[in-house]
Amino acid sequence: MPTFAEAGRALEQNLEALRKPGILAVRPGYHIEAGWPVGDPVVVALVGAKKGEAAAYGLPAQIAGVPVEVREASPLERLRATRPEVHAELEDRTRPEQHIPDFPFERSFAAPPQAAAQAARRPAKPQIPYRPASPPLDPVSGSLTVICVASPDAGWPALRDFFGRVQQKLVVGMYDFTSAHVLAGLEAALTPVGPHTLSLVLDHPTRNPTADQSDEQTEQDLSGKLGGALSFAWAPVRSSPEVTEWMFPTAYHIKVAVRDSAEVWLSSGNWNNSNQPEDAPITDPDPTHAAETFKNSDRDWHVVIAHPALAQLYEAYLLNDRETARQAQGQAVAAAELEAFAEQSFDLAELSPAAEARSPHQFFAPLTVTETMTVQPLLTPDHASDGGGMYADKMLELISGAQHSLYIQLQYIHPSNQAEDGGFTALLDAVAARAAAGVDVRIILSQWQNSQWLERLQAAGIDTGLVRIQNGVHNKGFVVDHQRVVVSSQNWSGPGVLQNRDAGLIIDNTTIARYFEGIFLHDWDNVAVGHGRRVGVTALDAAVAQIFGWEDDPGERVPALIPPELRPVPDLTLTPLRLAIPRVSAPPPRGYPPGIPEFRYWSAAEAAARGAAFWRQLLPAGTTWQVGETLNMLLDEGEDFNAFYDRQALNFFHGTAGGRTVYSGESPDIVCHEEGHAILDALRPELFDAGTIEAAAFHESFGDMSALLAALQLPSMRTAMIADTGGDLSHSSRLSRLAEQLGWAIRQSAPTAVDADCLRNAANSFFYTNPETLPSRAPAASLSSEPHSFSRVFTGAFLEALAGGFRLASAHPGEADLQAVSRDLARLLVTGILAAPIVPEYMSQVAAAMITADAGAEGAARGKYGDVLKSAFVRHGILSPQSAAGVAAFHAISVAAARPLGMAVDGVRELPHIALSAAEYGLGERPLLVRAPSDPRRFAVSAAAFGVGSVTPSNAEHAARAFVEDLLQRGHIDIGGAGQPGIRIVHPHTFKTHRLVPSAEGLMLARILFDCGFHAMCRP
Ligand SMILES: [Zn+2]
Kindly give the distance from the C-alpha atom of residue 1014 to the centroid of ligand 1, in angstroms, as a whole number: 10
Kindly give the distance from the C-alpha atom of residue 814 to the centroid of ligand 1, in angstroms, as a whole number: 31
Kindly give the distance from the C-alpha atom of residue 682 to the centroid of ligand 1, in angstroms, as a whole number: 15
Sort 138 into a burial class: Cβ within 10 Å, 0-12 / 13-18 / 19+. Answer: exposed
**Amino acid (one-letter) located at 854:** D
Taking the C-alpha atoms of residue 384 and residue 318, their distance in angstroms, rounded to an integer, is: 19
Indicate the pLDDT class of residue 534, thresholds 50, 70 and 90.
very low
Mean pLDDT of 514-524: 92
Q: What is the pLDDT of residue 512?
A: 95
Kindly give the distance from the C-alpha atom of residue 562 to the centroid of ligand 1, in angstroms, as a whole number: 25
Kindly give the distance from the C-alpha atom of residue 223 to the centroid of ligand 1, in angstroms, as a whole number: 71
Would you say residue 419 has pLDDT above 70?
yes
298 or 439: whose pLDDT is higher? 298
Q: What is the pLDDT of residue 433?
A: 93
Ion ligand 1 contact residues with beta carbon within 5 A: 700, 703, 1010
Kindly give the distance from the C-alpha atom of residue 788 to the centroid of ligand 1, in angstroms, as a whole number: 7
Give the lowest-confidence range in 150-154, 157-161, 678-682, 851-855: 851-855
Is residue 723 within 8 A of residue 684, CB to CB? The reply is: no
Kindly give the distance from the C-alpha atom of residue 951 to the centroid of ligand 1, in angstroms, as a whole number: 27
Q: What is the pLDDT of residue 648?
A: 94
Kindly give the distance from the C-alpha atom of residue 543 to the centroid of ligand 1, in angstroms, as a whole number: 38
Q: What is the pLDDT of residue 101?
A: 94
What pLDDT digit, counting tens, does each position of 426-451 carry? 999 999 999 988 888 999 999 999 99
What pLDDT digit, counting tens, does each position of 794-818 carry? 999 999 999 999 999 888 898 889 9
Using DSSP, state whether 240 is helix, strand or coil: coil
Kindly give the distance from the C-alpha atom of residue 944 to the centroid of ligand 1, in angstroms, as a whole number: 26
Would you say residue 989 has pLDDT above 90?
no
Q: What is the pLDDT of residue 505?
A: 97
Kindly give the distance from the C-alpha atom of residue 645 to the centroid of ligand 1, in angstroms, as a whole number: 8
Kindly give the distance from the C-alpha atom of residue 228 to the centroid of ligand 1, in angstroms, as a whole number: 73
Kindly give the distance from the C-alpha atom of residue 569 to the centroid of ligand 1, in angstroms, as a whole number: 27
Would you say residue 574 has pLDDT above 60?
yes
Kindly give the distance from the C-alpha atom of residue 704 to the centroid of ligand 1, in angstroms, as a whole number: 8
Kindly give the distance from the C-alpha atom of residue 959 to the centroid of ligand 1, in angstroms, as a whole number: 21
Give the lowest-confidence range in 342-346, 441-445, 701-705, 1003-1007: 342-346
Kindly give the distance from the C-alpha atom of residue 473 to the centroid of ligand 1, in angstroms, as a whole number: 49
685 or 907: whose pLDDT is higher? 685
Kindly give the distance from the C-alpha atom of residue 1012 to the centroid of ligand 1, in angstroms, as a whole number: 4
Kindly give the distance from the C-alpha atom of residue 821 to the centroid of ligand 1, in angstroms, as a whole number: 24
Mean pLDDT, the chain, as a whole number?
88
Kindly give the distance from the C-alpha atom of residue 954 to the centroid of ligand 1, in angstroms, as a whole number: 25
Q: What is the pLDDT of residue 116?
A: 55
CA 15 vs. chain centroid, Å, equals 51
Kindly give the distance from the C-alpha atom of residue 794 to the centroid of ligand 1, in angstroms, as a whole number: 14
Kindly give the distance from the C-alpha atom of residue 771 to the centroid of ligand 1, in angstroms, as a whole number: 18
Would you say residue 839 has pLDDT above 60?
yes
Share of the chain above pLDDT 70, in %: 91
Mean pLDDT of 236-265: 94
Kindly give the distance from the C-alpha atom of residue 644 to the centroid of ligand 1, in angstroms, as a whole number: 7
Residue 565 CA: distances (Å) to CA of 320, 620, 724: 43, 32, 18
Kindly give the distance from the C-alpha atom of residue 701 to the centroid of ligand 1, in angstroms, as a whole number: 8
Kindly give the distance from the C-alpha atom of residue 1016 to the centroid of ligand 1, in angstroms, as a whole number: 10
What pLDDT digit, counting tens, does each position of 746-804 carry? 888 888 889 889 999 999 999 999 999 999 889 999 999 999 999 999 999 999 999 99
Kindly give the distance from the C-alpha atom of residue 642 to the centroid of ligand 1, in angstroms, as a whole number: 10
Kindly give the distance from the C-alpha atom of residue 556 to the centroid of ligand 1, in angstroms, as a whole number: 20
Would you say residue 888 has pLDDT above 60?
no
Q: Which of 308, 368, 370, 376 is nearest to 144 (CA)?
A: 370
List all residues 6 or more positions away from 506 whose beta carbon is below 8 Å from its beta carbon.
375, 376, 378, 394, 398, 484, 485, 486
Q: What is the pLDDT of residue 190?
A: 92
Give the lowest-confidence range in 102-111, 499-508, 583-592, 685-694: 583-592
Kindly give the distance from the C-alpha atom of residue 235 to the centroid of ligand 1, in angstroms, as a whole number: 67
Could you give the residue ranges of the DSSP H alpha helices within 297-349?
308-325, 335-344
Mean pLDDT of 399-412: 94
Q: What is the pLDDT of residue 950?
A: 64
386 or 819: whose pLDDT is higher? 819
Share of the chain above pLDDT 90, in %: 61
Indicate the pLDDT class of residue 893, thresholds 50, 70 and 90.
very low
Which region holds residue 638: left if phi is over 0, alpha if psi is between -120 and 50, else beta?
left
Indicate the pLDDT class of residue 1015, thresholds 50, 70 and 90.
low
Using DSSP, state whether 845 is helix, strand or coil: helix
Q: What is the pLDDT of residue 545?
A: 67
Q: What is the pLDDT of residue 339?
A: 67
Strand bridging mode 578-580 / 630-634: parallel
Kindly give the distance from the C-alpha atom of residue 700 to the centroid of ligand 1, in angstroms, as a whole number: 5
Kindly give the distance from the C-alpha atom of residue 797 to the centroid of ligand 1, in angstroms, as a whole number: 18
What pLDDT digit, counting tens, does each position of 633-669 carry? 999 998 888 899 999 999 999 988 888 889 999 999 9
Kindly give the distance from the C-alpha atom of residue 1011 to the centroid of ligand 1, in angstroms, as a whole number: 5
Strand bridging mode 643-645 / 654-657: unpaired
Angle, in degrees to the nearest 10, between helices 597-616 and 668-683: 40
Could you give the residue ranges of the DSSP H alpha helices within 461-579?
494, 510-526, 539-543
826 or 860: whose pLDDT is higher? 826
Would you say residue 900 has pLDDT above 60?
no
Main-chain dihedrals φ then ψ at residue 42, nearest 5 degrees: -130, 170
Q: What is the pLDDT of residue 715?
A: 87
Kindly give the distance from the C-alpha atom of residue 1013 to the centroid of ligand 1, in angstroms, as a whole number: 6
Kindly give the distance from the C-alpha atom of residue 493 to the centroid of ligand 1, in angstroms, as a whole number: 57
Kindly give the distance from the C-alpha atom of residue 547 to the centroid of ligand 1, in angstroms, as a whole number: 27
Q: How many CB atoms lie within 10 A of CB 998?
A: 12
What pLDDT digit, counting tens, does each position of 862-874 carry? 889 999 999 999 9
Q: What is the pLDDT of residue 982?
A: 67
Kindly give the distance from the C-alpha atom of residue 939 to the centroid of ligand 1, in angstroms, as a whole number: 27
Q: What is the pLDDT of residue 412?
A: 97
Taking the C-alpha atoms of residue 203 and residue 255, their distance in angstroms, rounded to an integer, is: 11
Q: What is the pLDDT of residue 358?
A: 86
Kindly give the distance from the C-alpha atom of residue 707 to the centroid of ligand 1, in angstroms, as a whole number: 11
What pLDDT digit, counting tens, does each position of 943-974 carry? 765 555 666 667 888 888 889 888 888 888 88
Kindly give the distance from the C-alpha atom of residue 662 to the centroid of ligand 1, in angstroms, as a whole number: 18
CA 366 vs. chain centroid, Å, equals 18
Kindly give the distance from the C-alpha atom of residue 1010 to the centroid of ligand 1, in angstroms, as a whole number: 5
Kindly give the distance from the C-alpha atom of residue 637 to the centroid of ligand 1, in angstroms, as a whole number: 17
Kindly give the distance from the C-alpha atom of residue 877 to the centroid of ligand 1, in angstroms, as a whole number: 23
Torsion sign (Cα): 55, 60, 65, 71: negative
Kindly give the distance from the C-alpha atom of residue 21 to the centroid of ligand 1, in angstroms, as a whole number: 81
Taking the C-alpha atoms of residue 282 and residue 290, their distance in angstroms, rounded to an integer, is: 8
Residue 522's beta-bridge partner residues?
none
Q: In what order do the strands lie in the sheet with 1010-1011?
A: 578-580, 630-634, 649-652, 643-645, 1010-1011
Kindly give the distance from the C-alpha atom of residue 748 to the centroid of ligand 1, in angstroms, as a whole number: 21
Would you say residue 908 has pLDDT above 60?
no
Taking the C-alpha atoms of residue 978 and residue 993, their distance in angstroms, rounded to an integer, is: 17
Q: What is the pLDDT of residue 934?
A: 81
Kindly give the distance from the C-alpha atom of residue 551 to the centroid of ligand 1, in angstroms, as a whole number: 20
Kindly give the distance from the C-alpha atom of residue 625 to the centroid of ligand 1, in angstroms, as a whole number: 17
Q: What is the DSSP letter of 389?
A: B
Kindly give the distance from the C-alpha atom of residue 673 to the centroid of ligand 1, in angstroms, as a whole number: 6
Kindly give the distance from the C-alpha atom of residue 699 to the centroid of ligand 1, in angstroms, as a whole number: 7
Q: Tell me the whole-structure pTM to 2 decimals.
A: 0.58
Kindly give the distance from the C-alpha atom of residue 789 to the centroid of ligand 1, in angstroms, as a whole number: 11
Kindly give the distance from the C-alpha atom of residue 696 to the centroid of ligand 1, in angstroms, as a whole number: 9
Asked if the peptide bond before residue 192 counts as cis, ω within 30 degrees of 0, the response is: yes
Kindly give the distance from the C-alpha atom of residue 322 to the centroid of ligand 1, in angstroms, as a whole number: 67
Kindly give the distance from the C-alpha atom of residue 677 to the centroid of ligand 1, in angstroms, as a whole number: 7
Kindly give the distance from the C-alpha atom of residue 690 to the centroid of ligand 1, in angstroms, as a whole number: 15
Mean pLDDT of 181-198: 91
Indicate the pLDDT class of residue 39, thresholds 50, 70 and 90.
confident
Would you say residue 52 has pLDDT above 60?
yes
Would you say residue 709 has pLDDT above 70?
yes
Kindly give the distance from the C-alpha atom of residue 798 to the centroid of ligand 1, in angstroms, as a whole number: 17
